[in-house]
Amino acid sequence: MLNYTIRRLLFAIPVLLFISFIIFLILDLAPSDPTGNLPLTIPPEVREKIRQSLGLGEPMYWRYLMWCKQFFINEPLNIWDQWMGTCSFNCEDRLRVVSYVTRSPVVDLIVERLPQTLWVVGMSYVVGILIAIPIGVISAYRQYSWFDQAGTFVSMVGFSVPPFFSGVLVIVIFSVQLGWFPSIYDTTLKVVDWDTFVLQLKQMVLPVMVLALQTTAQISRFMRASMLDNLNMDYVRTARAKGMKERTVLLVHVLRNSLIPVVTVIALGVPSVFGGAIITEQVFKVNGIGQLLIIGIQGGDAPLVQTLTFIFAVLIVLANLIADILYGILDPRIRYD
């Protein structure tokens, strides 16, 4: 397993380099202009100068190599220096990946945004999974019961109602009509005591609810199908013939087998958590990663978009690897060595 993991990690390096180049190519082909959002009174010569100063006059391959150097060498060195409080390889002149628009290092922007996204989107993913798995198990065990029918209905709603609708709907119901929860996520809130913790929880409820509905819908369906596949297997009959309790049959024998494909799906979904939920973040004014990406795209901010997209690519590659490893751990029939 270790050998396999190392081999896969090494293989991921050329894959990711290739992906980063493709992203760069596509961004370069896009007709966006980093000066496009500047006031119209700025004359074209000045705009051209701004572009030159951003390095856009250099040839494409040179700009790509510079990004590579900044991202793969300078940024890790910078993190190292920050941790150790040192200054290695003349840290003063070291160029970092800098946003065209805000002129601040992209990595700092991401680090600033990440907690909100993880709190809201990550929490909704966890909540969704925790709700979905029991629903899937019970729905399958009591197939066509009223519980199963209700689960099917909720899943259908979760699948088909987009978050820009369900988000606005829960705002209208729970913040406007009932006034239970705030409609806007306040990023400046610092959790210092019990009261602020409650406030933080309250402002998380609505976005988490909207996002968890989607996750629950998908994973509970998956779980149900997988359980149903396994419930009719011969080994279930064997377990019953051994006199095992129904609980043991269901929660030991069937569940373990049914989780194998579901865990893979869950692992593959993790990158989307880091990617943020672009629309839901907009609806609830959560200034997370998704919103950052939108701002970057609108402002023609190539370094920001390039870096963010590349980080997503890394996460997707890693999630695939983790899914494969989990598969091997859960299913003894699969061995990679």
Partner 1 sequence: MPDGAPKVLDVRNLNTVFRTRTGEVHAVNRVSFDLEKGELLGVVGESGSGKSVTMMSLIRLIPSPPAEIRSGQVLFDGMDLLEVDDDTLRDIRGARIGFVFQDPMTSLNPVFTVGFQLREPLMRHMGMNRREADRRAAELLELVGIPDAARRLRDYPHQFSGGMRQRVMIAIALACDPEVLIADEPTTALDVTIQAQILELVRELRQKLGMAIIWITHDLGVIAGIADRVMVMYGGQVVEEAPVRALFKEPRHPYTRALLETIPHVRGKRAERLEVIEGQPPILGAAPTACPFRDRCAAAVEICGRENPALREVGARHRVACHLSDTGAGSGAAPEPEGAHV
* Closest distance of CB 258 from partner 1, Å: 10
Nearest to partner 1 of 147, 174 (CB atom): 147
C-beta pairs of 90-95 under 8 Å, 24+ apart in sequence: 95/66, 95/70
Rounded to a whole number of angstroms, the CA Rg of the chain reads: 24
Q: If binding is defined by CB under 8 A, does position 91 make contact with partner 1?
A: no
Q: If binding is defined by CB under 8 A, does position 45 make contact with partner 1?
A: no
Q: If binding is defined by CB under 8 A, does position 245 make contact with partner 1?
A: yes
Nearest to partner 1 of 131, 228 (CB atom): 228
Site residues (CB under 8 A) for partner 1, limited to 214-233: 232-233
Neighbours of 144 (CB within 10 A): 9
Using CB under 8 A, which of the segments 76-84, 121-129, 153-161, 327-335 binds partner 1? 327-335
Using CB under 8 A, which of the segments 66-74, 79-87, 112-120, 240-248 binds partner 1? 240-248
Nearest to partner 1 of 248, 272 (CB atom): 248
Q: If binding is defined by CB under 8 A, does position 237 make contact with partner 1?
A: yes
Distance CA 128, CA 122 (A): 10
Residues in the chain: 337
**Strand partners of residue 202:** none
Evaluate whether 213 touches 153 at the Cβ level (below 8 Å): no
List Cα–Cα distances, 87 to 27, 72, 81, 97, 301, in angstroms: 33, 18, 6, 18, 29
HSE-CB of 20 using CA atoms within 13 angstroms? 24
**The binder of partner 1 chosen from 176, 242, 251, 298 (CB under 8 A):** 242
Nearest to partner 1 of 240, 285 (CB atom): 240
Q: If binding is defined by CB under 8 A, does position 69 make contact with partner 1?
A: no
Q: If binding is defined by CB under 8 A, does position 330 make contact with partner 1?
A: yes
# residues contacting partner 1 (CB under 8 A) = 23
Q: If binding is defined by CB under 8 A, does position 235 make contact with partner 1?
A: yes
Distance CA 121, CA 111 (A): 16
Evaluate whether 328 touches 335 at the Cβ level (below 8 Å): yes
Q: If binding is defined by CB under 8 A, does position 253 make contact with partner 1?
A: yes
Distance CA 86, CA 88 (A): 6
**The binder of partner 1 chosen from 90, 188, 241, 337 (CB under 8 A):** 241
Q: If binding is defined by CB under 8 A, does position 142 make contact with partner 1?
A: no
336's tokens: 């990679």
Distance CA 188, CA 267 (A): 31
Longest dimension (CA), the chain: 85
* Closest distance of CB 134 from partner 1, Å: 20
* Closest distance of CB 250 from partner 1, Å: 13
Instruction: List contacts with partner 1 (CB under 8 A).
Output: 232-235, 237-246, 248, 253, 256-257, 260, 330-333
